[in-house]
Amino acid sequence: MHGDWVCGVYEYFKAIFLGIWSTLVGMRITMARFFDYVKDPLYQGVTVQYPTERWKVAEGYRGMLFNDIDDCIVCSQCANECPADCIIIDAEKAAKGEDLGKTSNGTPKKIKAWRFDIDLNHCLYCGLCTEVCPTECLIMTDAYDYATYSRDGLYLLFARPEKYTTAPAGASPAASPAPEAKPA
């Protein structure tokens, strides 16, 4: 009985000692790192004063979508590919003899878009739409800070119906003017 008691006390203090010892082992790493960071010029001024200073995002970052409607041939491949169905296109073939102009790489445009909307509320930012785009007019910009006060702010309207004189029946040109998506 007496031996058990001594053994219990020994175990008790051993546990306390080991606890303190292993904490000190950890603290040594913490302190070593602390002085590393104080000395190392790489870690000087790590804090970025966010709205005024910014990190550069990586090349090919998948941010806000932007469509250059002047270059768009309205092929609807992006809308077909989109897994979230967030690209909404209403289009009409050009009338005979009507010239819609050319894209920047010389492809003649044959379809006019009454509506080219992207609902960023539903967007997955997967980038599949930009990969199928034949004229590379639909791109992912490196804009990442576009929080808005309402969901409407994330509803991007790219087609500019005022270019055309009359809207076809059924097409619903958006009432509000198209906000410019600004690539950062």
Which amino acid appears at position 31 of this protein?
Answer: M
Q: What phi-psi label fits residue 127: left (phi over 0), alpha (psi between -120 and 50 degrees) or beta?
A: left
Q: Which stretch binds another protein (CB under 8 A): 77-85, 96-104, 112-120, 166-174?
A: 77-85
For another protein, the closer CB: 53 or 180: 53
Q: How far is the CB of 93 from another protein (least distance, A)?
A: 24
Nearest to 110 by CA among 97, 129, 123: 97
Distance CA(33)–CA(43), nearest Å, equals 11
Is the CB of residue 167 less than 8 Å from the CB of residue 173?
yes
Min dist CB 42 to another protein, Å, is 12
The closest alpha carbon to 160, from 25, 48, 35, 69, belongs to 69
25 binds another protein (CB under 8 A): yes
Tell me which stretch binds another protein (CB under 8 A): 4-12, 53-61, 148-156, 160-168. 53-61
| Of 62, 32, 179, 38, residue with least CA distance to 130 | 62
Query: Is there binding between residue 58 and another protein (CB under 8 A)?
Result: yes
83 scored as a contact of another protein (CB under 8 A)? yes
Q: Which residues bind another protein (CB under 8 A)?
A: 15, 18-19, 21-23, 25-26, 29-30, 57-62, 80-83, 124-128, 131-132, 140
